[in-house]
Amino acid sequence: MNIKQALSVAGLTLLSFQLMAVPRLQLDITSTSTYYDSADETIKTTDPQFTLNAFLNDSDPAGDFFISVAVSPKQAENSGPDIGSFSADGTSYSIGDMIWGTPPADFEELPSHGVFATYYLELAVSFKTTDTVALYNTQDGAGSPGTMMFDDFVFDVTGLNDGYQLHFDLYEFDSSAKKVIVDKAPFSHDAGTAVPEPGVIALLGIGLVGIGAARGRRRF
């Protein structure tokens, strides 16, 4: 094997490793109707009640971690849409509890992340070394050796008005410095809610439910 061939093999090996590597921060949804949407690269659920899973693939849980809960589709400033309400861990939220802009609050927006200005709120995430699950990649469900820490949030979106959904981002920022984002979950490892089109409800019930169930079972 010559040098050029060796470099080519090394490059392919590195690319393969990067594609299979489990990100430091990830989101997932424990739900029997969770699916991976290749159109916008977001893990979504059609269930009105579900558990949002935040994961940290690190041995040190210290840091300022937050989940942003954003209204989708994009909303104009001062529009104050009547989205209805949703709850997280038993606390109810409506548009009056949210702010307009791009998360995180008071810091730069998530770079190269497709974040748009809308109404959102932030939930603090607390990772503990005692709360771990088997390591896996939430994008494709592929397992890896080791464990990762988690923090779960129980959501109920039954009260959301028609036409509104939620999008979740997970990030870490340095609260001691201005406009410094330490890390973020890759766009392909975001999560959100979705309403299936009438024509695909049956398909979701038969096929995608099984896919989601397999993803949900892996974390326990």
pLDDT tens profile 75-118: 999 999 999 999 999 999 999 999 999 887 777 677 656 667 89
Contacts of 177 (CB under 8 A, 6+ apart): none
Q: What pLDDT shows up at residue 137? A: 94
Mean pLDDT for the chain overall: 80
The first and second tokens of residue 213, run together, are 């169930």
Mean pLDDT for 47-62 is 95
Q: Worst-scoring range by mean pLDDT, 63-77, 163-177, 194-208?
A: 194-208
The first and second tokens of residue 134, run together, are 């088997």
